[in-house]
Structure 1
Amino acid sequence: MKPSTSLITICRRCNARICWALTTAHGRRQPVDAEPTEAGNLAVMQAADGVLYVRSITAARPDIRPGEWQAMPHHATCSSPPPRRSSGGQRARSGVRPVPWQGRQS
């Protein structure tokens, strides 16, 4: 089973077709590849309200239920490297550098 075309969007970094799904464990958004694959470690299903839900395939629950399909998380297959958060080099400093407070001598 594949997701409906209205749920498919494009990754901003690599232009791949993805879907956004909510995790069943915490309700957080997770990008999932739109194409089902046998190598996937996620089970995705579309609820009656049209929202996609995703769960991990584990040793405790390895089966794919009716209405689910197997997919890969897009973070694992994205061909673009993740953005760097810091340059690691010198950065421009601005403002006042804090000076340790020294108590009054009486």
Structure 2
Amino acid sequence: MKPRSDHITTCRSCHARICWALTTANGRRQPIDASPAEDGNLAVTHGADGLLYVRSLTKAHPEPKPGEWRAMPHHATCVAPPPRRSSGTGQRQRSGVRPVPWQGRQS
């Protein structure tokens, strides 16, 4: 199976054909490659509401169900991914730190 043409758009970074699908786990949008992939780790299906839904293929459920097809997440195949956001691992200046060890209340 393939996605309908009205689901297909292009990636802003690499201009590849992608689709946006909602994850079944939490309803967040995820970009997927528009063409099915035999080695894909996602199962994609058309919902009754006309949207695409995606779920991960796991060891417990390694094969797509009838009506689903395999796809790859576009984050894994994008040749020009946008720069990653800072994870905050750099050194920050501390402010408001107590100059002495904490003294708990005495009962």
TM score, norm. by length of structure 1: 0.78
Unaligned runs of 5+ in 2: 87-94, 97-107
Instruction: State the distance in 1 between where 2:54 and 2:85 align.
Output: 28
Give the SS at the match of 2:36.
coil
CA drift at 1:63: 1.8
Instruction: State the distance in 1 between where 2:85 and 2:25 align.
Output: 28
TM score, norm. by length of structure 2: 0.77
**Identity across matched positions, percent:** 69
Unaligned runs of 5+ in 1: 87-98, 101-106
Q: Which runs of 4 or more aligned residues in structure 1 lie more than 4 Å from their structure 2 counterparts after TM superposition?
A: none
Does residue 31 (structure 1) correspond to residue 31 (structure 2)? The answer is yes
The number of equivalent residue pairs is 88
| Residues 1:80 and 1:45: Cα distance change in structure 2 (over 3 Å) | same
**Hey, what does 1:62 align to over in structure 2?**
62
Q: How big is the alpha-carbon RMSD for the aligned residues of Structure 1 and Structure 2? A: 1.6
